[in-house]
Amino acid sequence: MREKYVRFCVSLPKDLLEELDRRTVLRGYSSRSELVRDLIREMLIEDMWEREEEDVVGVLTIVYDHHDIRLVSRMLDVQHKYHVNVLCNTHVHLDHRNCLETMIIKGKASQIEGLSTQLAGMRGVKFAKLVKAGKPEK
């Protein structure tokens, strides 16, 4: 079934509209409306994570030195410490020394953020970023 769209008017200062148009082009959107819809969705996801009422989903990306066997063991311990459901884990060897891992995680926002913070702060982790993706579909 096709979604019903409602048109509404927004007044913006000229410089803000120019910036919106610049970003629309830079990000490859077909229209201002597409960009605004994505910005609203992003804001709603942020609010959902702050409310902490229901489970949410995030994607954690980390790059680390896989030669540090203790690091790998500590990373697994942290994953088990948090009662967060790691739905999927992908491990890629970037080069002789570095691995990239992505984890799709479902749980309470505070649990996911705690897991992310713990992993990011470990010695040997070179990069970590959590993307807040929303809530699981019912």
Q: Residue ranges for the binding site for Ni(2+)? A: 80, 91, 93, 99
Residue 58 has which token pair?
Answer: 């995030």
Query: Binding site residues, as ranges?
Result: 80, 91, 93, 99
Residue 13: which H helix or E strand, with range?
none
Residue 91: which H helix or E strand, with range?
strand 85-93
Q: What is the dihedral of CA 70, 63, 38, 41, to 10 degrees?
A: 0
SS3 19: helix
Sheet holding 85-93: strands in order across? 85-93, 98-107, 56-65, 125-134
